[in-house]
Amino acid sequence: MKSDVVEVRMRVAAHPATVFRFLSDPDRFRQWMGDATLGAAAGEPLTVRYPNGGSAIGTIHEIVPDKRLVFSWGYSDPAMQLPPNSSRVSIELTPIPSGTLITLRHSGLASETARNHAMGWRHYLSALANAAATVAGLAAPAVDAYQAAWAERDPGKRAALLARCWDSGAIFRDAMGYAEGRDDLADYIGAAQSFAPNIAFERVGPLLHAHGHVNYRWRMVAPDGAVMMTGNNIGELSPDGMFLSMTGFWEPPAAFA
């Protein structure tokens, strides 16, 4: 029977050292693989237990810090037609400008089961990518600094706030304009403030964070407390917690009337 190799690639907004913690620390491994037991060295077992009572059973073959995890893989259920330790999975971590490229290769599969394994590994790697991108807790401080910059009238203090959260080449877009880089955005904010003096720009509601992207709502409030405008921001963060882009969406007046 012909064997197929499943290969799944995924970009993660986290450095390889951060991602590797989820491949080597048993507690973090369970965050994306579920009820699992992970050995600490080559030759030790790896087991993933499923809600239906079955298990995936393998053995660690290679661990290279911040670079690679290789293990065998199979199932306790004979109906799966893939006995324990009968296939091989390698997970490679490659540094890229936006963080890490994960490349998972699963070899030794029968052709008719390859598609299901590809779907399954995409699910698991997505959980890994999201966990690794959020573990450092960089999203909230970046958003707070960004919001504070929009409220800051002093140009020097505004520049200092943007230096904490805005990448030197980051791009801002909304229905009213475009800015590229810190100086452009600082000028854009200053111009916006001149058209709306004494207006507060506030974040409202929860901060949503997935795969290095944030999503949150905002509002413009007049000194008397009246809400002048509301909207939604979607931003992309670097592995170091600096915004690479931000897109603002203005809601129609009915949304805040």
3-state secondary structure of 137: coil
Residues making up the chain, counted from first to last: 257
In CATH, the number for domain 139-255 is 3.10.450.50
CA distance 175 to 144: 22
Band of pLDDT at residue 1, cut at 50, 70 and 90: very low
What does the pLDDT look like over 56-94, one tens digit per residue?
999 999 999 999 999 999 999 998 889 999 999 999 999
CA distance 129 to 9: 11
What does the pLDDT look like over 220-236, one tens digit per residue?
898 898 898 899 999 99
CA distance 163 to 53: 52
| % pLDDT > 90, the chain | 79
CA distance 98 to 238: 6
Burial readout 146-175 (b: 16 or more C-beta within 10 A, e: otherwise): bbbbbebeeeeebbebbeebbbeebbbebe
Contact 71, 29 (CB under 8 A): no
Band of pLDDT at residue 3, cut at 50, 70 and 90: low
Q: Do domains 3-134 and 139-255 have the same CATH topology?
A: no
What does the pLDDT look like over 8-62, one tens digit per residue?
999 999 999 999 999 999 999 999 999 999 999 999 999 999 998 999 999 999 9
Give me the sheet containing 166-174, strands edge to edge: 177-180, 166-174, 243-250, 227-237, 213-221, 200-210
Q: Domain 3-134: which topology?
A: Alpha-D-Glucose-1,6-Bisphosphate; Chain A, domain 4 (3.30.530)
DSSP 255: G
Quick one: the chain helix, strand, coil %, rounded to 5? 35, 40, 25
Contact 105, 87 (CB under 8 A): no
Q: Residue ranges of the domains in the chain?
A: 3-134, 139-255
Report phi then psi at 243, rounded to 5. -70, 130
Band of pLDDT at residue 254, cut at 50, 70 and 90: low
Q: Is the pLDDT of residue 117 over 70?
A: yes
